[in-house]
Amino acid sequence: MAFGVGSARAESKAPAGAQWFAVPEDPTKEQGRPVGADGGYGSRSQFETAVRVRYPTPNENTSWSLTPLAALDGNLTPSGLHFERHHGGIPTIDPSRHSLIVHGMVDTPKRFTMAEIKRLPSVTRKHFIECSGNGLTEWKKPTRKTVQETHGLLRACLSTSAGRPHLSHEPT
């Protein structure tokens, strides 16, 4: 019990995306926070500490962030930890002014607003996606320290290989 209290006091700063809340000595004997106290959207647990790491390029607007694959449980990447590649910073896009244009090898080109897209039926499917830049700088001569940094998707690929999760790479 002393370890839990001491570690809670030592960890008084919340990680990115989380809000720090004091941990009672015995949480089973105290009322929790009110429902919706975080504003209603939900926030990250203060005990989840994995964050993306920006690849060290000279320009912060033309860089990419690495998903901390070795720190994830399972094979679903939370949206806040997904690999990103940017060539001119992160854009701010107003959905009410954004549209999708479908043209080229179609009979009739069309433009769809986000409102029109949201009215379409939705389907949820689980897919594996990969960015060609994931591990790009490490193909000729690995310079990074971990398998995550040099090969990026090794854990994700192995963990879903032939449906045999026992093949996954786990840090030791």
Span 108-119, pLDDT tens digits: 999 999 999 999
Q: What is the CA radius of gyration of the chain?
A: 21
> pLDDT category, 158, cuts 50, 70, 90?
very low
- pLDDT-based confidence at 39, cuts 50/70/90? confident
Report pLDDT for 53. Answer: 85
What is the average pLDDT across 133-144?
Answer: 69
pLDDT band at 131 (very low <50, low <70, confident <90, very high): low
Residue 163 has pLDDT above 70, yes or no: no
Partnered with residue 102 across adjacent β-strands are 110
Query: What order of strands is seen across the sheet that includes strand 63-66?
Result: 53-54, 63-66, 84-86
Containing H/E element for 36? none
155 pLDDT band (50/70/90 cuts)?
Answer: very low
Residue 121's pLDDT is 95
- In single-letter form, the type of residue at position 159 comes to S
What are the CA-CA distances from residue 58 to residues 55, 61, 64, 92, 154 (Å)?
10, 9, 12, 23, 27
- Please answer whether residues 18 and 45 qualify as being in contact, where contact means their C-beta atoms are separated by less than 8 angstroms: yes
Q: What CA–CA distance (Å, rounded) separates 7 from 147?
A: 30
Round to whole Å and give the CA distance between 53 and 116. 36
Task: Look at residue 161 in the predicted model and tell me its pLDDT.
Answer: 46
Highest mean pLDDT among 49-58, 125-134, 156-165: 49-58
The pLDDT tens digits for 61-91 are: 988 888 887 788 887 888 888 888 888 888 8
- 145 pLDDT higher than 60: yes
pLDDT reading at 24 higher than 60: yes
The continuous run of DSSP H or E covering 162 comes out as: none
Check if the beta carbon of residue 8 is closer than 8 Å to that of residue 14: no
> Among 27, 22, 29, which Cα is nearest to 7's?
22
